[in-house]
Structure 1
Amino acid sequence: MSVVKINVLTVPAEQREVLEKRFAARASAVEGSDGFEEFELLRPVEGTDQYLVYTRWRDEQSFQAWLKGPMRAAHQGGGEGGERPKPAATGSTLWSFEVVQHVGPKSA
């Protein structure tokens, strides 16, 4: 059964562009991971400063393996002088779900 992980990131308005550019720059870091199924970065449009980072995985073990390997490496990136850049988000919360029902588009 697939699992969904949603990372809720609180991002001040002045950091939105920074966050989106960072995600775009490392989009391929998750694509090749074993068990990875889907990714979406959702930008808030009104009433909140929280972005949602949606990922879907074959199972919990696949997600945990990505956390301990590729994700950790992606977040180690160095900025100027080899220092890690300041986070764009001021807070984060991870939500976890099991997919119990899924409906895709109808085939023609």
Structure 2
Amino acid sequence: MSVVKINAITVPKDKQERFEERFKGRAGAVESTPGFEWFELLRPVEGTDQYLVYTRWESEEAYRVWESGQDFARAHEGGGSELAPAASNSSHLWSYEVIESAAPDRP
């Protein structure tokens, strides 16, 4: 089954625009990584200042290979020193196994 990695990153209100810009400038190499399935950046709407960075992988091994490679380092440069750092030092990486999923029924 697939695995999901969610990075919960606290971003103060006054740095949110800058943080989002970092993701717009990301290398994009993750999309062609073997085993990569999905990416989403989730902006908080209310009740929190934590952004969620959601990635889905075909296996834990596929994620670990990417995490230990150069593409991971490039993706986390975040647009260079002009845009970094935007987030605080508060982040948490959560790991989940997908045990059930559904998609819309479409003919």
TM-score by length of 2: 0.89
Q: Gaps (5+ residues) in structure 2?
A: none
Q: Determine the C-alpha separation between the residues in 2 that align with 1:95 and 1:101.
A: 18
1:72 paired to 2:70 = no
Q: Which residue in the other structure is 2:32 paired with?
A: 32
Amino acid at match of 2:2: S
Q: Determine the C-alpha separation between the residues in 1 that align with 2:42 and 2:27.
A: 14
Task: Pick the structure with more helix per residue.
Answer: 1
Amino acid at match of 1:104: A
Q: Determine the C-alpha separation between the residues in 2 that align with 1:25 and 1:8.
A: 19
Is the Cα contact below 8 Å between 2:27 and 2:75 reproduced in 1?
no
Q: Determine the C-alpha separation between the residues in 2 that align with 1:99 and 1:75.
A: 25
Give the percent of matched residue pairs that are identical in Structure 1 and Structure 2.
57
Q: CA RMSD in A?
A: 1.5
Q: Which runs of 4+ in 1 moved over 2 A?
A: 73-80
Q: Determine the C-alpha separation between the residues in 2 that align with 1:35 and 1:22.
A: 24
Q: Which residue in the other structure is 1:89 paired with?
A: 87
Q: Which residue in the other structure is 1:103 paired with?
A: 102
Q: How many correspondences in the alignment? A: 104
Q: Determine the C-alpha separation between the residues in 2 that align with 1:35 and 1:88.
A: 29
SS in 1 for 2:68: helix
Kindly provide the CA deviation profile for residues 37-69 of structure 1, in whole angstroms up to 9, marking residues without a partner as x: 000000000011000000000000111111111
Q: Determine the C-alpha separation between the residues in 1 that align with 2:93 and 2:76.
A: 16
Amino acid at match of 1:45: V
Q: Determine the C-alpha separation between the residues in 2 that align with 1:78 and 1:50.
A: 22
SS in 1 for 2:37: strand
Q: Gaps (5+ residues) in structure 1?
A: none
Distance 1:78-1:22 versus aligned 2 partners, 3 A rule:
closer
Is the Cα contact below 8 Å between 2:27 and 2:74 reproduced in 1?
no
- Offset at residue 75 of structure 1 (A): 2.4
Q: Determine the C-alpha separation between the residues in 2 that align with 1:26 and 1:37.
A: 17
